[in-house]
Structure 1
Amino acid sequence: MAQPRRRFPPPWQDRQGQFSPLKLAVLLGLTLPALWLAWLAFRGGLGPRPIMEAIHQAGLWAVRILLLSLLITPLRQVLRWPRAMLVRRMLGLGALAYALLHLTLYALDLGWDLAKVASEIVLRFYLTIGFVALLGLLALGVTSTDGWVRRLGGPRWQRLHRIVYGIGVLALVHFALQSKIDVTEAMLMAGLFLWLMGYRAVAPKGGAPGLLRLAGLAVAAALGTALLEAGWYAVGTGIPPWPVLAANLDVSFGLRPALWVGIAGAAAVLLRAARLLRERLPAARPAH
């Protein structure tokens, strides 16, 4: 007799109930930032304001993992790797978990005064948009199950889950606003998000863009990142945009976000080229 299917199978199993090394590896990877944060807290390595640093780190990882979840579609198409889809839901839930930790630590920093937490969220704009992003992630997390796909139907479910793009924008604005003066990492995340959105705009339905489109996307995303950074500093601090734009060409103090985004885009071109080359090479014939 066949065994009844468990309602909540272990997260390291695929849809056929088989063990998936990929899912286990991603699951373990998602726990590492939290474990490292706990270790630093135990060792007193979070600086003079440990709770505030923990809040920052949890929020940072929420954004990083959210972007990784958006990277799954390009990975699947560029590398022709359908199994990448196995971990998209897990990554989305991981982003939600770190966003909830971010909020929980903020409440801890305010002494669990929930009225104070609510008033701060209402009165501070960057907290308001961060909380809206969290609510959006929560809605996506709740409806991420196969049961909700059946209840809503495929097209409606897909339309609902496209709000992840708006959530990404809100999360990045929240990140940049709370970063105050140094928005280097926030601009890097924003630039990578530009590439991810640009990829969806230039990719043919169900497939990967050609090499020329990917190369153009790499250049456009890098330029967009530089312009975004210059505009942010111009509006926020009054710094003229030209010195900020010129700084992207000065590598004396390390690479600026725009160059990192360009490098990431170039890596996508190389991966696509390698995959195309592999597909076009004739299969080796067995020796007689």
Structure 2
Amino acid sequence: MAAPWRTRSGQISALKLAVFIALFLPALWLALRWGGFAPDLGPRPLMETIHRSGDWAVRLWLVSLAITPVRHLFRAAPLVQVRRMVGVAVFAYAALHFALYIVDLSFDLGKVASEIYLRFYLTIGFVALLGLAAMAATSTDGMLRRMGGRAWRGLHRLTYPLAAVALVHFGLQSKLEVSEPMVMSGLLLWVLLLRWPKARTGWALLPSVIAVTLATAGLEALWYSLRSGAPLMAVLSVNFSTGLGLRPAHWVAILTGTVALAALLWQARPGFANRGNSRTARAVRS
């Protein structure tokens, strides 16, 4: 088996090597904090590490889903080379998240199973983990050949609904502070919208930014209304003001708007429409 930073032809890929190293940085950061080099994990460092490893699993999951839309937006064909690597890293961080939870319960597997059964947010988190395990186990070229393209693609399309399930898990375990899960939910909606080719070309990008910004504001308002009984319209109005600082809808607008503007400028370059096809073919072969 070739090293993950090499192409199929055996050459070292600077992109793959850089991504491979970057994927270890969150784990290294957690290890350094745990080791006392930056002791800011609070009174329950193990629980804090459990949460942080899960956070990174969801963040990287979103990155893995964004690779294809970004590749199309910027005709960045080489990005296809790192999609599988990032996907496997998502499972690795999710597995670390679960393993540390088992450690926190003193390896009492009966207690672990009971907690997963009784607590809804743990149940759906475990479902997402099982889905990730299935996709990681079938991520190799050999499994693709054994399963056949149609069955393999059907399984791996589950990554989108499973990512949504993971975000619900993220929000529920975050209690009342759900800003990051809401931002990520808005970005996931944009990634899903950009799977439609007409939504990722030219000025069609701008309506998509507006749509996901409004959807994020509505989603956060609905969440707080259902969880705390706050008036829906009152919460919604807060999302359109900056009196309490930038809300998730604002961050989604800033992030998606920045990417959309960069894509518009990039797509305006001469010869953009003819770029990418040959590069995509070469990238897949790599």
Q: TM-score, normalised by structure 1?
A: 0.90
The reply to whether residue 203 of structure 1 matches residue 194 of structure 2 is no
- Residue 212 of structure 1: CA displacement? 2.6
Q: Is the 8 A contact 2:73 2:201 kept in 1?
A: no
Choose from 17, 22, 25 the match for 1:32: 25
Which amino acid in structure 1 is aligned with residue 238 of structure 2? A
Name the stretch that deviates more: 267-276 or 61-70: 267-276
- Residue 113 of structure 1: CA displacement? 0.8
The reply to whether residue 255 of structure 1 matches residue 249 of structure 2 is no
CA RMSD of aligned residues (A): 1.4
Supply the distance in 2 between the matched residues of 1:280 and 1:89 (Cα, whole angstroms).
30
Supply the distance in 1 between the matched residues of 2:158 and 2:268 (Cα, whole angstroms).
36
1:23 is aligned to 16
Which amino acid in structure 1 is aligned with residue 223 of structure 2? W
Q: Is the 8 A contact 1:92 1:141 kept in 2?
A: yes
Supply the distance in 2 between the matched residues of 1:14 and 1:262 (Cα, whole angstroms).
37
- Residue 250 of structure 1: CA displacement? 2.8
| Number of aligned positions between the proteins | 270
Supply the distance in 2 between the matched residues of 1:128 and 1:279 (Cα, whole angstroms).
51
- Specify every segment of 5 or more residues in structure 2 that has no aligned partner in the other structure, as ranges: 273-286
Runs of 4+ in 1 over 6 A off after TM superposition: none
1:95 is aligned to 90
Which amino acid in structure 1 is aligned with residue 202 of structure 2? L
Q: Secondary structure at the match of 1:182?
A: coil
- Residue 252 of structure 1: CA displacement? 4.3
Q: Is the 8 A contact 2:2 2:8 kept in 1?
A: no
Aligned-pair identity (%)? 51
- Residue 280 of structure 1: CA displacement? 4.7
Residue by residue, what CA displacement relative to the aligned partner does 1:233-257 show, whole Å, maximum 9, x if unpaired? 0000011122322222333443111
Choose from 9, 13, 21 the match for 2:6: 13
Q: Secondary structure at the match of 2:10?
A: coil
Choose from 205, 229, 232 the match for 1:238: 229
Larger Rg: 1
Residue by residue, what CA displacement relative to the aligned partner does 1:27-75 show, whole Å, maximum 9, x if unpaired? 1111111111111111132110101100110000000000000011111
Q: Secondary structure at the match of 2:242?
A: coil
Supply the distance in 2 between the matched residues of 1:203 and 1:277 (Cα, whole angstroms).
17
Choose from 153, 176, 201 the match for 1:181: 176
Supply the distance in 2 between the matched residues of 1:248 and 1:280 (Cα, whole angstroms).
41
Which amino acid in structure 2 is aligned with residue 245 of structure 1? L
Choose from 268, 271, 279 the match for 2:270: 279
1:284 is aligned to none
Which amino acid in structure 1 is aligned with residue 3 of structure 2? P
Which amino acid in structure 2 is aligned with residue 171 of structure 1? A
Matches for 1:112-127 after TM superposition, within 5 Å: 112-127=107-122
Choose from 202, 209, 212 the match for 2:203: 212
Q: Is the 8 A contact 1:214 1:268 kept in 2?
A: no
Choose from 131, 135, 158 the match for 1:136: 131
- Residue 16 of structure 1: CA displacement? 2.0
Supply the distance in 1 between the matched residues of 2:83 and 2:131 (Cα, whole angstroms).
17
Q: Secondary structure at the match of 2:268?
A: helix
- Residue 153 of structure 1: CA displacement? 1.7
